Amino acid sequence: MSDLVTFGETMLRLSTPVGERLETARELDLRIGGAESNVAVAAARLGTDATWLSKLPDSPLGRRVTGELRSHGVDPEIHWADSDRQGLYFIERASPPRETNVVYDRSDAAITTARPDDFDRSAVTDASVFFTCGITPALSDRLAETTDELLRTAQKAGTTTAFDINYRSKLWSPPEAREQLSGLFPAIDVLVAAERDIRTIFGYDGRPNDIATALNSDFGFRTVIVTRGKEGAIARHDGRLFEQPAFETETVDSVGTGDAFVGGFLSKRIDGAAVPEALEYGAATAALKQTVEGDLAVVTPSDVEKLVDPEGSGSGIQR
């Protein structure tokens, strides 16, 4: 039994260095990434017992995913498929004014056919927290149903359910997302959402505080966190509002920042911390993630604590 169980797709991530383009690159950096396993990695590295549920092809590519996750302490519980694809994404990182470009190649990945029965139900029902995100139901109808059932199963068993909207315009339109996500909301206890996504999908306007409050009253979440990039995050929990500024960073790689935030937040909540402390921990984890290449928050508890509670020289180098 794990403290945190997450469910979703992990892709191979093939990236060019900044300044290089996919059209002309001769070498690609190979890593892995996926919102739910990114969350599991952040939490596991911070001391949480974390499991990731998924379906993968039984191939070197699928094993590439589990090997890297295990190296960070995540326990992968995999339904191995004989023949399906391993999802991929290409990322052409860029400096302004050129935008970083993500080319998804994830259609028909093994996970798109995952059914609830592919997994041992106790993985979900015994967990303290079950997490998935809005990308997963967008991948296939089958997966939308499976996501729905896993969330309900978890909630029914007393497992806290957490969910990040993570809207991807390359996967679905705002109306599609709204319909699908609204159906899932009753089974969700903790909702995380980027302010921009909430505005795009649900048409809320007003100040961020108002949005958090409205989401809470409209859908009855126990906790709502509205993330605002460099503006930090706002949480509405048990009727109270909390604000958490973001830490300033010189960003090396911004992909996975939101997942690191969620992983740090959930890890601390599972440890029994109150929401404001967990928010700060999440923000620090997110800031550190941005200093590391790849989707994963390769951090230690000590890294996070030093940021939350700094001391010492401030010279930027420890020696």
Q: How many CA atoms lie within 13 A of 181 on its CB side?
A: 28
The verdict on 203 binding a copy of itself (CB under 8 A) reads no
Structure tokens at 195: 């302010």
Give 108 or 141: the residue with its C-beta nearer to a copy of itself.
108
DSSP reduced 3-state for 45: helix
The verdict on 219 binding a copy of itself (CB under 8 A) reads no
* Calpha distance 132→188 (Å, rounded): 10
The verdict on 97 binding a copy of itself (CB under 8 A) reads yes
Tell how far CA 169 is from the center of its chain. 16
Q: Which stretch binds a copy of itself (CB under 8 A): 139-147, 183-191, 210-218, 249-257?
A: 249-257
Pick from 80, 185, 219, 247 the residue near a copy of itself by CB under 8 A. Answer: 247
Give 67 or 186: the residue with its C-beta nearer to a copy of itself.
67
The verdict on 280 binding a copy of itself (CB under 8 A) reads no
| β-sheet bridge partners, residue 133 | 164
* Calpha distance 65→282 (Å, rounded): 25
Task: Compose the 60-89 pattern: x for residues touching a copy of itself by CB under 8 A, - for all others.
Answer: xx-xx--xx-xxxx-----------xx-x-
How many residues belong to the site for a copy of itself (CB under 8 A)?
Answer: 75
Give 62 or 187: the residue with its C-beta nearer to a copy of itself.
62
The verdict on 1 binding a copy of itself (CB under 8 A) reads no
* Calpha distance 137→260 (Å, rounded): 21
Give 99 or 117: the residue with its C-beta nearer to a copy of itself.
99
164 catalytic per annotation: no
Q: Which of residues 136-155 bind a copy of itself (CB under 8 A)?
A: none
Q: Which of residues 20-49 bind a copy of itself (CB under 8 A)?
A: 20-31
Phi-psi region of 227 (alpha: psi -120 to 50; beta: other; left: phi over 0): beta
The verdict on 255 binding a copy of itself (CB under 8 A) reads yes
* Calpha distance 4→71 (Å, rounded): 17
Pick from 142, 196, 222, 228 the residue near a copy of itself by CB under 8 A. Answer: 196
* Least separation in angstroms between CB 54 and a copy of itself: 17
The verdict on 287 binding a copy of itself (CB under 8 A) reads yes
* Calpha distance 144→317 (Å, rounded): 47
Pick from 252, 274, 301, 305 the residue near a copy of itself by CB under 8 A. Answer: 252
Please tell me the total number of residues recorded for the chain in this structure: 319
* Least separation in angstroms between CB 159 and a copy of itself: 26
List all residues 6 or more positions away from 186 whose beta carbon is below 8 Å from its beta carbon: 219, 220
The verdict on 59 binding a copy of itself (CB under 8 A) reads yes
Contact present, 256 and 38 (Cβ < 8 Å): yes
Catalytic residue among 197, 259, 295, 303: 259
The verdict on 105 binding a copy of itself (CB under 8 A) reads yes
Query: Quick count: other Cβ atoms within 10 Å of Cβ 146?
Result: 26
E strand spans, 108-182: 129-133, 160-164
Question: What is the set of active-site residues?
Answer: 259
